């Protein structure tokens, strides 16, 4: 099997162990990361969508699928909010940025090495 073109890639699945923790590289069931383990591992693709439902018609950008522990998620949210010049928050395993900042967020996350898709309409 040829090596990936990205030198920072790592295995996410093993045929004998199943899904692997992105931090300690052990099977998810045997992970030793504890609370710092990401809440959801997902498929490795970060999805960015725009939502207005339940917000009085105001748009927000929601970022899901980041394989980060809560402290790193908060740090990334802070950097994205600063880059976009708006407010926002973290909810469970997602980041919410005020306004429609999908293009800016996509560029920033791709620059950081994530695989990004714009989801929704």
In order of start, what are the domains of the chain with their CATH numbers?
11-35 (no CATH), 42-118 (3.30.780.10)
Q: Which two tokens stand for residue 29?
A: 């069931």
pLDDT of 39-59, one tens digit each?
555 677 899 999 988 888 889
Give the ranges where 1-121 is alpha helix by DSSP (H): 70-84, 102-111
| Confidence (pLDDT) at 92 | 82
Higher pLDDT, 51 or 120: 51
pLDDT of 62-73, one tens digit each?
999 888 888 889
d(CA 95, CA 89): 6
Q: Report DSSP state, residue 39.
A: S
Instruction: Please tell me the pTM assigned to this model.
Output: 0.66
Higher pLDDT, 96 or 31: 96
Across the range 19-48, mean pLDDT stands at 69
For residues 61 and 83, the answer to whether their CB atoms sit within 8 Å is no
Higher pLDDT, 120 or 108: 108
């Amino acid at each position: 099997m040829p090596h990936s073109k990205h030198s920072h890639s790592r295995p996410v699945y093993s045929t004998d162990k199943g899904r692997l923790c992105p931090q300690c590289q052990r099977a998810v069931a045997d992970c030793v990361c504890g609370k710092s383990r990401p809440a959801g591992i997902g498929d490795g693709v970060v999805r960015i969508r725009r939502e207005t439902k339940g917000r009085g018609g105001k748009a927000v950008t929601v970022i899901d699928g980041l394989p980060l522990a809560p402290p790193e998620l908060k740090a990334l949210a802070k950097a994205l909010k600063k880059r976009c010049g708006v407010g926002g928050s973290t909810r469970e395993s997602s980041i919410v940025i005020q306004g429609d900042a999908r293009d800016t967020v996509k560029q920033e996350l791709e620059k950081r090495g994530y695989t990004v898709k714009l989801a929704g309409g």
